[in-house]
Amino acid sequence: MTQESSISGEQEITKPNLKLMLDRLSIPIEYVEDMQHINTLLLVDCQYGGTNVKELSADNIYVIR
């Protein structure tokens, strides 16, 4: 099984607990400014439609608070 890159917005993830989670779970991150429609969007510790979250077109949107 190949692991795809996870996508983050144009701003670097700075919260220590999120950085620790990414490191421990070996989740690769790719920073992007814009992207086309995607299958799954997973948001962690934020709210879709909030001022710090860019709205992206996705079939499935999941939020972990």
Q: Tens of pLDDT along 21-64?
A: 889 999 888 877 777 888 988 887 777 777 777 778 889 989 88
pTM of the model: 0.56
Angstrom distance (rounded) from CA 65 to CA 45:
5
pLDDT of residue 24: 96
Is residue 50 a part of any domain in this protein?
A: yes
From residue 40, give the alpha-carbon distance in Å to each of 14, 20, 61. Answer: 23, 22, 6
Q: What are phi and psi of 49, to 5 degrees?
A: 90, -5
Q: What is the extent of the structural domain holding 27?
A: 6-64
How many structural domains is the chain composed of?
1
Is residue 1 a part of any domain in this protein?
A: no
Is residue 60 a part of any domain in this protein?
A: yes
Task: Count CA within 13 A, CB hemisphere, residue 55.
Answer: 3
Q: Which has the higher per-residue pLDDT, 6 or 29?
A: 29
